[in-house]
Structure 1
Amino acid sequence: MPAITPIAADNQIRHAFGHFPSGVTAVCAEIDGEKIGLAASSFTGVSLEPALVSVCMQHSSTTWPRLRTAKRLGLSVLAEGHDAICGRLASKNGDRFAGTDVTVDGDGSLFIDGASLWLDSTIYAELPCGDHDIVVLQVHGAWTGTASPLVFHGSRFRRLAALEGAAL
């Protein structure tokens, strides 16, 4: 068995976490006519009844304090080919929605067109944990697309590969 070494620096834990592939989501809303959104890779299902999912938000985010005031939040699971959209949503500069087709519903949830999944949600709970908050969202509606999700692993975007004859 290899020796497990203690984590001594942020970059070591970031590298370690990078060994687990994750999907990439966009959490977005339209507030007073302005499109606001960010990218989050720490997304997971939490509960079926009630329908809950979670994302983690950095305490240093300047976007999350604005988003959390929205009546509704649109969560889009980004699809293959959304690499540039993800990069813009993660950027601190420029128009995060430049060249991005979106759909906004009547309550202000903003969704990225062509995504694998859309979830219409509201904040259910926020739990401070280290340098992030775990934000639990209650899902009020869902739409599933046919596009394969964007996957982030080893500090880069990757594609899912289908295995012949594999089934769960």
Structure 2
Amino acid sequence: MSTTVKMNLEKDVFRIRGERLVHVLQLASLSKDDPENYICTSVTSENDVCITWLRIREEQSIINYERKHTWLLKELALIDGVDAFRDNAIFDLHFENDIYTLEAYSTASKYAFLRCIREMSEEYLQRDLQWRNFDHDFVGNSNSFLVIDDIMLSLRLCIEAISFGCLFSCF
């Protein structure tokens, strides 16, 4: 997602309503004729966190913004990644009475959205967001991902380096 799109959304849609745009998730399009769809996370002047499904259509160089849905973060009961063991961009947003199945532009952007929503929930609602079916290694708050195969490879290389050093010192 380009920075220009985010800046335009901030200026044309959110700042006008007194909201601060925090994160933008581009949704996958089924065809080129479909309008662009985004899930946006914003904070109001009253410190309410909003999740907005925004549809953008461009007709004859005029850009039309349509708010398809707007929810408060406190209404979000669960975010479901559908399948933690497959590389997919599909996820479900479970609100009090409705479930929305969405597809992000990429799996990485789906995880970035989840991390953003979790941080917003911790900061503004002082509670952890309910989530399931995401790979826990990529959801954590740290920037380093611990993968057991990488750790074992590093350990093996260290042992071989020490062994080589000992062998070399014998000569």
In the superposition, the TM-score normalised over structure 2's length comes to 0.25
**Larger relative strand fraction:** 1
Larger relative contact order (Cα-Cα within 8 Å, sequence gap ≥ 6): 1
**Larger relative helix fraction:** 2
Radius of gyration: which is bigger?
2
